[in-house]
Amino acid sequence: MWENIFQAVDDLFDEMVQIRRHLHQYPELSFQEEKTAQFIADYYEKLGIPYQTKIGGYGVIAKLNGGKPGKTVALRADFDALPIQEENDVTYKSKVPGVMHACGHDGHTAALLGLAKAVLPFQEQLPGTIVFIHQPAEEYAPGGAKPMIEAGVLEDVDAVFGTHLWTDTPLGVLHTSKGNFMAGADRFEIKIKGKGGHGAKPHQTKDAIVITSQLVTQLQQILSRRIDPLKTGVITVGTFEAGQAFNIIADSAKLVGTVRTFDTDVQNEIIDQMKKIVESVCIPYEANHDFNYFKGYPPVVNHPKEAEMILKDGKKVPGIDNTEEIEPSMTGEDFAYYLLEKPGAFYFTGAQKERDNYPHHHPKFDFDERALPLDAKTLLQAFRSYQEEH
């Protein structure tokens, strides 16, 4: 049966590409994915697989009960896009100005839908139950995973698995880790209020740009001088907003950035040190400040047994040449919330292009579409392996 389903997935390659390209042309931002959710629901309606909509927002879930006893395993795909203007010159280029599927979520959705269609004819032979989780709003905290979990998508679920099409990983390769896999992702905002004035009379001002520039450099010293070198973290300033003209000293400035950690103690130490640095830098200038820190997604921590299962049995999937355990990534993912509730694992499915391979969240991001059936088949193998081991 399993080999027949693998073949059925491969036979649906053209349809998965068609779905992916349709979604790519009509992307929707986090918490705004009404039409995408309807597309997913309509697909399950045509298949005749029972589904539910508006789960924790625009979430959609579908359940396929096998004809044989077994465990209930959830498989998750996300479907939101990013506020990026696409620069690719392709026939399926985004038709929505300033919005783009620049992370592969259109592919995740196409693969999971394709898997549902491939498995359906084998329903009576299938052990246990597959829960297809289509999740909105992965890209922007508080994310879509947590409200879907709160709405009950993991009730009666024994294990949960997910994968991310990854352009850093070669086609035909799976990457994961047994334990820490992706970092916790937080966001901060720092606003400095000084005193503006004429560019020729700096002594009469409190230059917000000078003050805030000191913050940018001193924040990096938290990691180099305050955190145990054997532990890890990232502090990145993503935006620096200040000034209106070349001859005016800015009276205010704003920094927005992200902090990535795996360890709660490291996270708390960074927050404490950031507060102290902001205060100490502002004191000699008699400037005011506003510091806001938003804790985002927790780290993605795979369950060792389930991650080992991916590494061991992933090689059984036709088209997968190798599986490798890798060092954790500092990127973040709200799949973390599922793993806090149930056993499971998250992994990367290689989707690296042979030419013009751009990173995730880049205006020219794209992936090798031959990875679509591999995405679907590795999720099927995770379901199969879990059934066989339990």
List strand residue ranges (DSSP E) for 34-118, in order: 51-55, 59-65, 68-78
Q: How many residues does the chain have?
A: 390
CA distances from 274 to 43, 115, 225, 235, 388 (A): 48, 46, 13, 10, 49
Does residue 361 have a known ligand-binding role? yes
From the candidates 28, 33, 86, 138, give the one annotated as an active-site residue. 138
Does residue 282 have a known ligand-binding role? no
Does residue 103 have a known ligand-binding role? yes
Does residue 105 have a known ligand-binding role? yes
Please report which helix (H) or strand (E) contains residue 181, including its range. Answer: strand 180-182
Query: Could you please report the per-residue DSSP string of 218-236?
Result: HHHHHHHHTS-TTS-EEEE
138 in active site: yes
From the candidates 28, 33, 78, 80, give the one annotated as an active-site residue. 80
57 Cβ partners below 8 Å, 6+ apart?
Answer: 31, 136, 137, 144, 147, 148
Does residue 134 have a known ligand-binding role? no
Please say whether the dihedral angle defined by the alpha carbons of residues 243, 244, 247 and 250, taken in this order, is positive or negative.
negative
CA distances from 213 to 227, 236, 242, 243 (A): 22, 14, 11, 13
**Tokens describing residue 140:** 């922007």
Q: Reduce the DSSP state of residue 13 to 3 states and report it.
A: helix
Is the distance from CB of 51 to CB of 134 less than 8 angstroms?
no
> Which residues make up each annotated binding site?
103, 105, 139, 164, 361
> Which residues make up each annotated binding site for Mn(2+)?
103, 105, 139, 164, 361
Q: Tell me which residues are annotated as active site.
A: 80, 138
